[in-house]
A and B are shown apart, each in its own frame.
Chain A
């Protein structure tokens, strides 16, 4: 009997476990966990991953061959196109259609295995580009089109269907998206560099104010200590992303608000780390230098600075490294740079290969920065 735990203990434990299970079950409901979808929607993920894995790196000059045929909507509003019998030609399942009808567009004897851009040439309104299709080995393609309301005949001039077959010619070249990605990457790296530098310049004096062993003397010092310390802690509790959203709302999209957001967050973060480095120094040398009759500034330069420089440099490099990563994410909320490029390409639905290029570039740069910062910090230790 003695070895058995009391009944109330067993009941309490059971209740606690039941409550725990209930909370977990509720959280599953709230986060709309649906593992079946994970498999049902796998093809979508596969398409996306495939695009990401085949980044758009090279390109060739394209030779464009254009064929155009008029397609009146609705029927009789303008003359139908004259069907062509041979050579590269287009053909539609119906010569004309009422608005909102569907029909089939086919192309014959076009360039084999070529990309085909289908466009509506709408009078007085311009072009409407449809998703790209590809021709087969015999130069044939077929696509389902809608007779859109927007393409109705105006003043007796019908819209026409324009088909551009794009045939690569000449040698492989670096693609435009590689150039765009490099440019955006430079923006990101220098955003991170600038924000880290400015943050460092602001954080160094503040960190001394927030170091208890330097500042916390007398009423003024203690006040300054608590003010800077609270400033660091409050700012640090804001995620860079939240900060970037605020600045983007204020200043609009672009690298400037992103850089500002990064600077503010980095200042607080570096300031906190710097102040801790200052607090952790060995007070012995300070005492020794005071004893030699050196003045306050000399004492700091000869006893505090040598002790903190390696830590400071290491923190600065580390922050540059993480700022490159953060500024990528900040780009998504309009901070400019590679993140903005990436989000634009992903949202455009047709730029997945370009997004792939950006992702690879990010992986390469983050890896390189990680490696560099680790190397430098190892040297400093």
Chain B
């Protein structure tokens, strides 16, 4: 269970990215964050594992205060929180295998890992993770030789290496075309069904309706909506995205089943 209390983030240049945001993520949820670009979604996700330090407010992960964690504790907390990024954030020149193994660094022997030495168990685990996202055959390719969709799957495999209890997904499909969007979100949905909590920011309303179990919405750093996906109708959508917004459907076609 993740609890966010009165979270506020002010950047050094004065931008107020988050204003007093509070919400909870229950275990097993697929919670989607929606909102315009710049509404604070990315900042919110990065505050949870403290890639960005919040200015005020508390974050509790299983009643442990993440915001007050010491550097060593923080590393252990981060181990349990997988993260998937819009730009995949793979090391392009490294092999897929190395990229996936790097998700295990929080568990590996620090000195051996610096030399690039990995236990057979970890290698096995990496191959299995790649197998789960269907690209075990790409293990020895360079990461930048893969297509965008495949790279995002490597990103998911890397997160899986952490044996995470929650996955933070920062617009995981914003750089992909609509068909691939469904394929990637289905992997996240699969993980969610296996018991991993998912906290995911998305842009497209049809994707929200299709995958979310619950939705929160941010507007200019404020939490403006919290509820079920069905409650977001056209009016609500205009409220969140502004009067001029037109709903763009991710795809006018059905998700591949």
Contact = CB atoms under 8 A, between A and B. Distances in A.
Contacts of A289: 102, 105
Interface residues of B, number: 33
A310 B93 contact: yes
A173 B90 CA distance: 61
B85 A287 contact: yes
Given A298-B105, A298-B114, A291 B93 contact: no
Contacts of A297: 110, 114
A216 to B, nearest CB: 12
Contacts of A31: none
A292 B78 contact: yes
Contacts of A132: none
Contact of A302 (B78, B102, B155, B162): B102
B136 to A, nearest CB: 21
A292 B89 contact: no
A302 B87 contact: no
B39 interface: no
B103 interface: yes
A287 B89 contact: yes
Given A298-B110, A298-B114, A302-B102, A291 B51 contact: yes
B85 to A, nearest CB: 6
Contacts of A291: 49, 51, 78, 81-83, 168
Contacts of A287: 51, 85, 89
Nearest to A309: B93
Given A302-B102, A306-B91, A292 B110 contact: no
A295 interface: yes
B20 interface: no
Taking each of B82, B83, B87, B105, which has the highest tally of chain A beta carbons within 10 Å of its own beta carbon?
A: B105
Given A293-B106, A298-B110, A288 B89 contact: yes
A303 interface: yes
A275 B117 CA distance: 28
A282 interface: yes
A290 interface: yes
Contacts of A303: 91, 102
A294 B102 CA distance: 8
A5 interface: no
Given A284-B85, A287-B89, A306-B91, A295 B102 contact: no
18 contacts: A284-B87, A284-B90, A285-B89, A287-B85, A287-B89, A288-B90, A288-B155, A289-B105, A290-B78, A292-B106, A294-B106, A294-B113, A295-B105, A298-B105, A298-B110, A299-B105, A306-B93, A310-B93
Interface of A: 282, 284-285, 287-295, 297-299, 301-303, 306-307, 309-310
